Amino acid sequence: MAHEVHIAGLAKTYGSQRVLGPLDLHLEAGTITVVIGRSGCGKSTLLRCLGGLEKPDAGSIRIGAGQLRREDIGYVFQEPRLMPWLTVSRNVAFGLRGHPARDDRVAEALAIVGLQQAASLLPKQLSGGMAQRAALARALAPKPELILLDEPFSALDPFSRESLQQHLLHLYRHYRTTMVLITHDMDEALTLGDRILVMQGPPGKIVADLSRHDTKARLREALEPGGRGPPGPQAGAERPQTPLRARAL
């Protein structure tokens, strides 16, 4: 089951500098929300707060009915962060300790990202794209209710990036999981996002709330320093449900 995410008054300060917020957001269940912005604007901090890696100074995050366990959130980092001493399949099983259907879940996740043949390899034997696919499989294997992706394709070559983007959309169709993806790539935002939130900062604030139907020029305009988009940051709650994209991939 996909969950909606409510963020109210979220703020984070490092030392004396406020890097995020205060931020109010409502992310619809079963959609891909892309947060795009320049480096250092606070978008990763927002995701880290959502994933429990940073403790916000103020505000609240409510996911679904508030009963979500940490294990129900999948997190894909910018780098694969595979445990170098574990094989691919054991890396994918990292979040499944003691799970009764562990082997099935691992096989399923590996099949989704197309890494069945690499199950017994060590991370050092993988290419960058394969390692990131393994990381994606690790996040998927526990069948999370919410998947957070922090620039997961930014370090990859264009071919691997496109392939992984397709895998992600395949996943999305498969599970209809709520996803939040951070990126600084406009094409990626328009390809993947149902909804595209443009962030500027610090302190990180949503300055435009776009959809995948918007043009790249519109997105570029919103990304310019001081750029503003028509719908405000809180307008997401009122937006109609974005239909699942029907593009041929």
Which residue number, 126 or 198, has a Cβ lying nearer to other proteins? 126
Please report, as residue ranges, which positions from 130 to 159 form the binding site for other proteins (by CB under 8 A): 130, 142
Looking at 80-88, 103-111, 211-219, 227-235, which segment touches other proteins (CB under 8 A)?
Answer: 80-88
Nearest-angstrom CA–CA distance, 133 and 246: 23
Distance in Å, CB of 186 to other proteins, minimum: 26
User: How many residues contact other proteins, by CB under 8 A?
Assistant: 31
Return the residue of 9, 40, 66, 128 that touches other proteins, per CB under 8 A. Answer: 128
Residues 126/118, Cβ–Cβ less than 8 Å = yes
Does 81 interact with other proteins (rule: CB under 8 A)? yes
Q: Which among 180, 72, 173, 76 has a CA at the least distance from the CA of 134?
A: 76
Distance in Å, CB of 159 to other proteins, minimum: 9
Longest dimension (CA), the chain: 52
Residue whose token pair is 């595979």:
82
Which residue number, 4 or 71, has a Cβ lying nearer to other proteins? 71
Looking at 19-27, 63-71, 173-181, 217-225, which segment touches other proteins (CB under 8 A)?
Answer: 63-71
Which residue number, 123 or 201, has a Cβ lying nearer to other proteins? 123
Does 73 interact with other proteins (rule: CB under 8 A)? yes
The residues near 230 (Cβ < 8 Å, ≥ 6 apart) are 208
The residues near 122 (Cβ < 8 Å, ≥ 6 apart) are 84, 85, 86, 87, 88
Residues 208/197, Cβ–Cβ less than 8 Å = yes
Does 123 interact with other proteins (rule: CB under 8 A)? yes
- Contact string (CB under 8 A) for other proteins, positions 90-109, x = contact: ----xx--------------
Does 84 interact with other proteins (rule: CB under 8 A)? yes
Looking at 3-11, 122-130, 173-181, 203-211, which segment touches other proteins (CB under 8 A)?
Answer: 122-130
Return the residue of 37, 42, 51, 203 that touches other proteins, per CB under 8 A. Answer: 51
Residues 210/229, Cβ–Cβ less than 8 Å = yes
Catalog residues that contact other proteins under the rule CB under 8 A: 51-53, 69-71, 73, 75, 77, 79, 81, 83-86, 94-95, 114, 118, 121-130, 142, 160
